[in-house]
Structures are given as structure tokens and as C-alpha cells.
Amino acid sequence: MENSKLLKSGEFLVCETNANAVFIPEEFNEEQKMIAQTCKDFLEAEVYPNLETVEKSDREGMKSILQKSGELGLMGISIPEELGGFGQSFVTQMLVAETTGAGYSFSVAYMAHCGIGTLPIMYYGNEDQRQRYVTKHATGENIGAYCLTEPGAGSDANSGKSNATLSEDGKHYILNGQKMWITNAGFADTFVVFAKIDSDRVLSAFIVEAKYPGVVIGPDEHKMGIKGSSTAQIYFNDVKVPVENLLGKRGEGFRIALSILHMGRLKLGANVIGAAKKAIDDSVKYANERKQFGTLISTFGAIKHKLAQQVIRTFASESAVYRVSADIDTLMEKMKVECGDYGRAATESISHYAVEAAILKVVGSEMLDYVSDEAVQIFGGMGYSAETMVERGYRDSRINRIFEGTNEINRLLVVDTAMKRAMKGDFPLFAEAEKLWTNIENIACEKAVDEDYFGEKQRYIKNFKKAILLCIHGASTTFGKNIVHEQETLNNIADMMMETYVSESLALRIEKMGNMQSDISLYKNILDVNIKETANTVRQSGLDAISAFCTTDNCNILMNAIDELTKTQCVNVKEARRKIADKLIADNCYKF
């Protein structure tokens, strides 16, 4: 990648990025491709043939598959070599998350172990804790789980009632409480458990072994989807946790939980890409086999529209995923030099991109819902049959909008975090917004004389950002501190921000591809359709936001500004989609 300024989280709103400075999937090296292929081979050999069995609440069956992945080294991708892993880059970790995302409920169990079940110990544990636990997690000898949610504490994690009290001899914390929706609960060996010590206001974190007396695992929940992953409640009844198993410092649990949630959101953004590509493969293969009225349904325009949209949304999400992943790698290397600790460097770098993490989580989960829903529709009646993989994929997809903080919470985080970072002085969001606002009556989107194809797209994206800034300025000045109660307006602004970030990532990717290969006409079709759809989202969400805060005096001026900033050149989106679908149909699988 070409050196350039490393943007802070949310700074994309006021800065432009050079295409040569972003990482794109077309740049994966041979080692990364080999690791991805190993993951694909594992799914084919060990996961798909056993899905029916493990989805009948076969806890030991799923644990066995997980351990086999550990034997292959797949559980040690993100773990340093000195702890028994392979110490791969964040980009490679995201590629593994993507590839295993095609593994249905196995993917959930695998990601829970490798992510939230292991990384809190690796990032925040001391050397003794890392040697005792992370080394065994790296090989699959032990399986990990993460215990945060309680019956009365979901999105409001810090309101949990679980409690720990130091024993009289000072050697143990006596842990009591109840956790729910715990992935891998039925077969995990270690749990990262969050509880308050005595009357503390904030959480602390503990490493708890399943074999400790007083740890009681409930039966697996009966779920809509991801049936093969063990999800159960866990009860802690006077569990003696050695004091040396306090993770991090006392009262640091909430910080640990938040940083791990940021990581989980990023990894989920990659995970859903693999699931989407699997659903697209199933969709096109069926469309190329199924005949109606004596004709393959893949020749029908309505089916081509669906196939093309599946590709467009997946390809766009993927572009954003690897753009921010490479930024995290760059920051992580810088942080490692500065602080000398791998764990701290990782958590600081991942938490730094909180805005983008929330974007990837929401955009990715909603993209997969769309793709899996259309897969069922393409299959028609067969898509509703449990005999097909698309039926399983449809059910499994739904949890992603709830995992790692609901999409409602994450939409609010997108705007709130960006504004708070700007208030701290990370980037001049409000100053740029004020400049636009004072000149709002003269906003015009003139085309440059020498504007080329990508120059045109960059102009559109820059205009979308201006529309966002106007809405942020209008909402923040009108509502002041009460803006936190205006969730509908914040959601409008979040949708504008999310779609604009993804469109910019897509445009940068395709522009860079143009420097690497001669013919990118098909990818320009993807970008053309995406930009039109983003313009529509920015316009509608912008107008909805304005209607909530504008006055009679400035309403028309604001609406005209939004209209002007979301104008785009007319594009034959029907033909663009048909060309995209035709490639997919010819390849009979996703090869974009």
C-alpha cells in the first residue's frame, strides 16, 4: 500500500482518500490465499457432511469439529507464535473470518472461541494467564466462551447483577450470578465472566474454568437458527475463582467488554461475507438448473436483478471490510512500537476504529439478510424446504442483526461516536459543517472540466458527505444535548454515513483495480448501481432528518441543498445489473 495519512475513526467524513493507499482483496498474497483455501477445504471435509448431526444438539460433535480445526492450526491465526499460534495480520484474521463464515453454525462456535472466548485473555491477561489459557485455546485443547449478557442486562451490559466477593483468606473471589445466551456454553472449558466486585459501579472480568465447583450449565436453548452452536444459560453458585484469575485490573471489565465488542463487530462484518458468497453460489447454481415455462430461470430479467443485487451488496461490503482491516494493521504495528505490548496494541487499534466497526456490523448483517432472503426467493418453494442449504442460511442469518450489539444500538453508535471523537478534536467535523451551513444557499455541484469516470464518482461521494455534515450541524444545533433522545434522526444520519463509507470504499477498490488490470468495465457497473442507490438513501434519509429539525424559514433551503447534493448522472441500471448477473451465471459461482 502507498503511504498516506492514516485516518482516525469517522474522519472519512471530512477527508478524501487516495485509491493507492487502500488495501483491496485483489492484493491477497499467496500465503493468505493458502490459509483461506485450508479453511474452505475444512468446511467441505468436516463441517458440511456433519451439519445435520450437530444441529440436533450434539454438543460433543461440535466440540470435536472445533478441535479438529485447532489441530490444523485454524484456531491460532490471531495468536502470537510465542503462545502457540501463527501471529497473522489483522487482514488475514478477517480473511479467515470471511472464509469460515460459510460454515453456518460451525462458524458461530468457531468465531466465538477464536474471538470473544480467547482474545480477552490474550489482550488483557498477564503472562501467566496467557501461558495457562491462550496456549491451550490456540490448539483447541480447550474451548473458550464469553459470559456478559444477563436476563436483565442485554444492551445495557453494565447493569448486570453478577457479583464477586473476596474470600476471608484473600485467595478467591466468590462468584454468584447468572449469564444467558452464552455461545459454546455446553462444551466450553473456560469462560470469561463479567461481574461486579462488592458494590463496585463497574464490571470486572474473571477467567472461570467450567470444572470449578458451583458452575452449572443449563440445557441448550431451542433457537430459530444456528442450531449446531451450543447456546445455554450458566449459573455461578458460590464459585471459588482464584484471585490470580482476575482478568486485567479491578473495574476494568467494562472497558474489556467494549473493546471486545468492537473486535466482534469487525469480525462479524467479515464473517457475513463468506455466508453471502455461499448463498450466492447456491442461488446461481439453482437458477442455472431450474426450468419454468421450458426456460432456465437464470434467463429471466427478474432473477437476474436478484442475482446482481446479491453480488453488488456483497462486493461493496467486502470492499469496506478490508479497507478498515488494513488500517487497523497499520495502526497496530505503530502501537506495538510505542507500547511494546501486543495485547494493548491490538485493543487500542481495534477500539480506535469504533465507528467503522459499527458500520461493518450493520451493513454486513443487513446485506446478508438481503442475500439469504433472495436466495430463498430464487429457490421458490424449494427454498422453504429444510432439505436445502438456503433454508438453513436464511434462519442462521437473522441472529447477526442482534449479535455484538443490536443494529439499533450500532446505528446510534455510528453517529454518537463520530461526534464525540470530533468534539475531542480528532478531526474538524463541526468546523467543516459550520462552513457549509453558512454558505448553504450557494451550494452547487459543478462538474470539473477535466473530470474522468472516477473523478465523477468522487464528486458524488464528496457531495454525500456534505449532505451528512449539514444534517449533523442542523440536528446538533437544534436539539443540543437532547439529540440523544432523537433516535430516529440519528438513525437517518447513520444510514447516510454507512452507505457513503461503503460507496467510497467500493469506488477506491475499483479505481485501484483499474491500476492492476486492463478491463474493469464490469466492476464499473457494480459501482454505477451502488452510487445510484447510495444517492437515493442519502437523499431520503437526509430529507427525513431535515423534516425533524428545520424551521419554516430554512426548510426549503435545506431540502434544495440535499436535492442538489444527491444529484447523479442517469445510468441504465437495468443493463448494468444484467451484465453483472450474466458473469455470475456464466461462472455458475461467485468469482468477483
Catalytic: which of 391, 404, 432, 486? Answer: 404
- 235 membership: H or E segment, kind and range: strand 231-242
* 384 secondary structure, DSSP code: G
In the chain, the amino acid numbered 444 is A
Q: Is 488 considered catalytic here? A: no
C-alpha span between 139 and 76 (Å, rounded): 7
Q: How far is CA 276 from CA 104, 273, 313, 368, 397, in A?
A: 11, 5, 9, 6, 9
The 3-state DSSP class for residue 569 equals: coil
Are β-strands 163-166 and 172-183 bridged in parallel, bridged antiparallel, or unpaired? antiparallel
- Residue 206, φ and ψ in degrees, nearest 5: -135, 150
C-alpha span between 259 and 374 (Å, rounded): 34
| CA trace torsion 526, 529, 535, 536 (10° rounding) | -140
C-alpha cell of 209?
A: 474454568
Q: Are the CB atoms for 322 and 329 separated by under 8 Å? A: no
The counts of H helices and E strands in the chain are 20, 10
Residue 229: count of CB within 10 angstroms of its CB: 28
C-alpha span between 385 and 278 (Å, rounded): 17
C-alpha cell of 526?
A: 457494480
C-alpha cell of 223?
A: 433457537
C-alpha span between 241 and 171 (Å, rounded): 8
In the chain, the amino acid numbered 426 is D
Q: How far is CA 111 from CA 143, 206, 358, 364, in A?
A: 11, 20, 18, 16
C-alpha cell of 374?
A: 433472495
Asked whether the CA dihedral 137, 229, 123, 329 is positive or negative, the reply is: positive
User: Could you tell me which residues come within 8 angstroms of residue 204 by beta carbon, excluding any fewer than 6 positions away?
Assistant: 164, 194, 195, 196, 197, 246, 247, 248, 249, 250, 251, 252, 253
Q: Which residues are catalytic?
A: 404
